[in-house]
Amino acid sequence: QSALTQPPSASGSPGQSVTISCTGTSSDDSGYNFVSWYQHHPGKAPKLIIYEVSRRPSGVPDRFSGSKSGNTASLTVSGLQAEDEADYYCNSYAGSNNLGVFGGGTKLTVL
Amino acid sequence: EVQLVQSGAEVKEPGESLKISCKGSGYSFISYWIGWVRQMPGKGLEWMGIIYPGDSGTRYSPSFQGQVTISADKSITTAYLQWSSLKASDTAMYYCARPIMARGLISKIDYWGQGTRVTVSS
């Protein structure tokens, strides 16, 4: 069982926004904001889309945004497009595993 | 261009040994950690462990300590994941990945290999 909890599924229509939560990250006062998000299309390599809670790597559309409140991080995908349909994983450090852990993953469906 | 290129799919029987590889290019291989992530069929991603090729220092997730061996050959910029005795439960996709460390923790994984599928079946 993952130390980070994500909803197993999320969905939205093209153009809409959807938010995926990730609960179990360190609290805001820990000084560590190492939450990252990955997009994974089956059969392909995962892709970094958000790091350090809200930073976007170059080349990632600004439709993807991240935030954190307390021990819950969130990924918001705005202006949903068909190609956004994928599995999304959060990652953060958690307690005894100093490598960090992944959330269980959320399958995003674009209706 | 940074690339992590993994070895091909493997089909093995229980009890056999296996070593899969990940060749890094386009960056200073000895200056970055590199590691392995498991994805079992229908399941999520799990960190297995990482290695710093510069000094071969390793860190393993508790679940994988003693179950696998991670190594690297800096002369050929290649990292390895090795099993001495495979089990059916080792059937999974294995990704190599380059974590970026900050204050001793992983802040992000900026590059991934294409994955190596390992099937263990009698």
Interface residue ranges in chain B relative to chain A, Cβ cutoff 8 Å: 35, 44-47, 49-50, 59-62, 95, 97, 99, 102-110, 112-115
A5-31 burial: b if 16+ Cβ within 10 Å, else e: ebeeebebeeeeebebbbbbbbeeeee
Give the per-residue pLDDT at A93. 80
Interface residue ranges in chain A relative to chain B, Cβ cutoff 8 Å: 2, 32, 34, 36, 38, 40, 44-48, 51-52, 57, 89, 91, 93, 96-105
End-to-end alpha-carbon separation of chain A, Å? 29
**Smallest Cβ distance to A45: which of B46, B107, B114?**
B114
Mutate to test the interface with B, among A36, A99, A107 (most CBs of B within 10 A): A99
Q: Within 10 Å of residue B17's Cβ, how many Cβ atoms?
A: 10
What distance in Å separates the CA atoms of residue B67 and residue B93, rounded to the nearest whole number?
A: 16
State the amino acid at position A84 in one-letter form.
D
Give the per-residue pLDDT at B104. 82
Give the per-residue pLDDT at B102. 86
Which residue(s) pair with B105 in the sheet? B102
Q: Within 10 Å of residue A82's Cβ, how many Cβ atoms?
A: 8
Give the per-residue pLDDT at A57. 96
The stretch B73-96 carries a mean pLDDT of 97
Is A96's CB within 8 Å of B62's CB?
Answer: yes
The stretch A13-29 carries a mean pLDDT of 85
pLDDT band at A24 (very low <50, low <70, confident <90, very high): confident
Pinpoint the alpha helices (H) of B11-108.
none
Is B107's CB within 8 Å of A46's CB?
Answer: no
Is A46's CB within 8 Å of B95's CB?
Answer: yes
pLDDT band at B103 (very low <50, low <70, confident <90, very high): confident
CA distance A14 to chain B (A): 26
Percent of chain A whose pLDDT exceeds 70:
88
Q: A-chain residues within 8 Å CB-CB of B46?
A: 101-102
CA angle B69/A24/A75 to nearest 5° reads 95
Q: Which two tokens stand for residue B41?
A: 């069929």
> pLDDT at residue B32 above 60?
yes
State the amino acid at position A99 in one-letter form.
L
pLDDT in tens, A64-109: 999 999 889 999 999 999 999 999 999 998 666 678 889 999 999 9
Give the per-residue pLDDT at A43. 86
**Smallest Cβ distance to A102: which of B44, B104, B105?**
B44
pLDDT in tens, B33-71: 999 999 999 999 999 999 999 999 999 998 999 999 999
Mutate to test the interface with A, among B105, B111, B114 (most CBs of A within 10 A): B105
Percent of chain B whose pLDDT exceeds 70:
100
